[in-house]
Structure 1
Amino acid sequence: MPLIPGPDVYRELRMLGTIISAITYGIVVSLSGNCFFLLLKKRGIYSSRMRLFLLIYVTIMLLLSTLAIMQTVRTTTVFIFQADLPLVIGNIPAALPLIIWGADGFMIWRCAVLYQDVPRVPRFIVLVLLSFLSITSLVCGVMSLIPFSIRFLIGTDGIFSTVVTLFSTLVNIILAALIILRLIRHQRHIRKVLGAQHGSPYSKVITMCVESSALIVIFSGVYSVIALVEGDGPSGLIPFLLLPHICVISPLLIVYRVAKGRAVTTTLHPSEEVADQIRFNDPPSSRSNQEEREV
């Protein structure tokens, strides 16, 4: 009897998801390599402590993505060649909760930094909200680490995976909204004080944060909707298998783009740096008086 006697949608989609996951993992490796290059070669873009922290962070996220693709390949191989195993879509990769913690924690940290100089009451409210998001993310991750055999016996494995991805979607929406609101307010303040031409860098940062958060929101949202509608059906396999690597790409994109932007800024020629300085509009009378004094 052949290993797979007939068409099997689950195994076909899982194999396709594994192939796409491997391609996505290649993007993770390439992005991590670029981050390492910028952080190691361009030493002036960050302080020593920040550079060390980001190097450790990128390394950990790369290792977790590697663990996720290894587990995906192993699980897919077992499902293809051992047809008598239970087919459960909600079998959470061991690295997924840790990856979500890393991605959400990075965004929470950046959000907390942006709100450091706001008045006390709004800052307290934001810190309470960020603390709540952190604790809830930690609890969901710990619950998802319950052994698969126990979750499968009580029939809640799909529920765990859906809850984790739903919360990740909610966290990224809230964090993106907080970061964008803060940057928009700061952008308006800068334009009001220095002029409209000085707000463009913040528009790029806002776009970067939206793109980074949208990656996780789209993939986790699609999987959550499919899981809620179909339960353990095979339709959500591809976004579910891609989710660990998407959660790694999201924060690494921010690290890479910020490091690349700072590297470009620190290598400007003197003529380019002078062009970006603030110009003061001195009245004609003061200019003439100054010229007379210089003469």
Structure 2
Amino acid sequence: MTEKQFINEKSFLYGAFFSAIAYGIVVTLAAICLNILWAKRLPIKHRRFQFIYVILVFMMATLSMGFEIRIIQAGFLEQRDFNGGTAGYPGPAAYLGKNLDHALPIEFKAWMACLVLTNWFCDSILLWRCMILYQDNQLWPTFFKYLPSGLLAASFITGVLHLIQITAPETSAWATANLPFNFTILYGIVAVLVNLTLTTLITLRLLIHRRRTTRALGAGHGNDFTTIVAMLIESAVLADIFVLLFLIPYSMRHWFCNITIQPLIQVQAMAPLLIIYRVAQGKAWSSTASRSQPRSFSTSNSSQPRTPGPGSSLGFSHHRRNSSQLPMIRATDGYLGMDTAGTELRPRPSESSTFDPYELYRSKSKLELEQEQTLV
């Protein structure tokens, strides 16, 4: 056994090992997402999309893992003495390398199809979040038609061409008899561009809302934005790093691509599951967020609830009080009353004609104001 043959065989085994670890993470994330969605007190029609999406992503990850096990079994057991291809040496690495470039066995075709479908699922949820964040933007409909949709269409077209190229009997990724280009590399580049573009759009929108919220309510109210942005960047960057770690060695015909291509499907499945997990917890940004403005307090001689001003909602799914539950001050000739969450406090007689009702409000409602801000 030559040194090159030995390194290539080890690289395929290492890739299968890392893929199994990544699949365990996907199983955990999918189980957590389904459990949270099932426990939510919402009608099933409001959760149907998330349920179906999580199940489909989990199915793609599971099927790809099954096909990958079958591929490794065929290479290291059934085709141990394989002597063919362009590797220049016999053995499992020659068999696996040949079929990754020219996927004729059914398990290789199915595994490649799972890879493309999982990538489309990952891009589609990022596009969905872009639509949610930009749907109230007047420039978004025109912009949406040309850039995100165009990139997603390019990903779909290059993905189909990639599958046709590597599964047709007369072509392969490198021996392009009827197709003029290696669409495996082109498809990978387009996938990275789509992911980075959609993630950048989402991040910019969230940072704009974070700046508006911190300016209106203080620095402590922008933590949710920072967490969401960090989650999006980390999940998107993780997938893009794995795609690049495959594309660059693959274009150089280096053995390192054998390690990164196998867990690629599982890594791509993690990103949308993390987003669904965030949405299911009720901490994702909603479409009403862009219309949010700070709440304001006012005095009134009436016990009627106040009409909420524009932007009384901050757009999150956290539990929060409505405008009728905000502290209300009612000052009369003989006493000071205060309504909090519909509860009337006992009146306190004023001790002098110069009694300042706002002093009592400031002294007794400081804690309530702090609690109100933490619930926003």
TM-score range, shorter chain: 0.7 to 0.9
Larger mean CA deviation between 47-56 and 239-248 belongs to 47-56
The match for 1:245 is 266
Distance 1:71 1:160 in 2: 22
Larger mean CA deviation between 47-56 and 105-114 belongs to 47-56
| TM-score of the pair, normalised by structure 2 | 0.65
Tell me if structure 1 keeps the 8 A contact 2:224–2:283.
no
The match for 1:227 is 250
Tell me if structure 2 keeps the 8 A contact 1:209–1:254.
yes
Residue 210 (structure 1) shift = 0.7
Amino acid at match of 1:142: V
Distance 1:194 1:278 in 2: 19
The match for 1:258 is 279
The match for 1:61 is 57
The match for 2:172 is 152
Distance 2:23 2:334 in 1: 64
Distance 1:122 1:262 in 2: 24
Residue 278 (structure 1) shift = 10
The 3 A distance-change label for structure 1 pair 292 and 124 is: farther
1:70 alignment partner, one of 66, 69, 86 = 66
The match for 1:22 is 20
Distance 1:291 1:126 in 2: 61
Amino acid at match of 1:109: W
Amino acid at match of 2:54: V
The 3 A distance-change label for structure 1 pair 290 and 111 is: farther
Equivalent position SS for 2:256: helix
1:35-184 → structure 2 map (5 Å cutoff): 35-44=33-42, 48-81=44-77, 82=79, 83-84=82-83, 86=85, 87-88=97-98, 89-90=100-101, 93-119=112-138, 121-146=139-164, 147-152=167-172, 155-156=175-176, 159-184=182-207
Distance 1:199 1:153 in 2: 47
Greater share of helix? 1
Amino acid at match of 2:269: V
The 3 A distance-change label for structure 1 pair 185 and 227 is: same
Tell me if structure 2 keeps the 8 A contact 1:71–1:93.
no
The 3 A distance-change label for structure 1 pair 153 and 99 is: closer
The match for 2:310 is none
Runs of at least 5 residues in structure 2 that lack an aligned partner in the other structure: 86-96, 104-110, 285-315, 338-346, 348-376
Distance 1:22 1:175 in 2: 29
Larger mean CA deviation between 237-246 and 153-162 belongs to 153-162
Tell me if structure 1 keeps the 8 A contact 2:152–2:194.
no
Distance 2:84 2:70 in 1: 14
Equivalent position SS for 2:112: coil
Tell me if structure 2 keeps the 8 A contact 1:79–1:85.
no
**Percent same amino acid at aligned positions?**
29
Runs of at least 5 residues in structure 1 that lack an aligned partner in the other structure: none
Distance 2:333 2:146 in 1: 54
Distance 1:292 1:130 in 2: 61
The 3 A distance-change label for structure 1 pair 194 and 79 is: same
Distance 2:193 2:334 in 1: 61
Q: Quick check: 1:9 aligned with 2:28?
A: no
What RMSD in Å do the two structures reach over aligned CA positions? Answer: 3.1
Residue 288 (structure 1) shift = 5.9
Amino acid at match of 1:151: T
Distance 1:290 1:266 in 2: 42
| TM-score of the pair, normalised by structure 1 | 0.82
Quick one: higher RCO (CA 8 Å, sep 6+), 1 or 2?
A: 1
Compare CA radii of gyration and give the structure with the larger one.
Answer: 2
Larger mean CA deviation between 176-185 and 164-173 belongs to 164-173
Distance 2:231 2:183 in 1: 30
Amino acid at match of 2:271: S
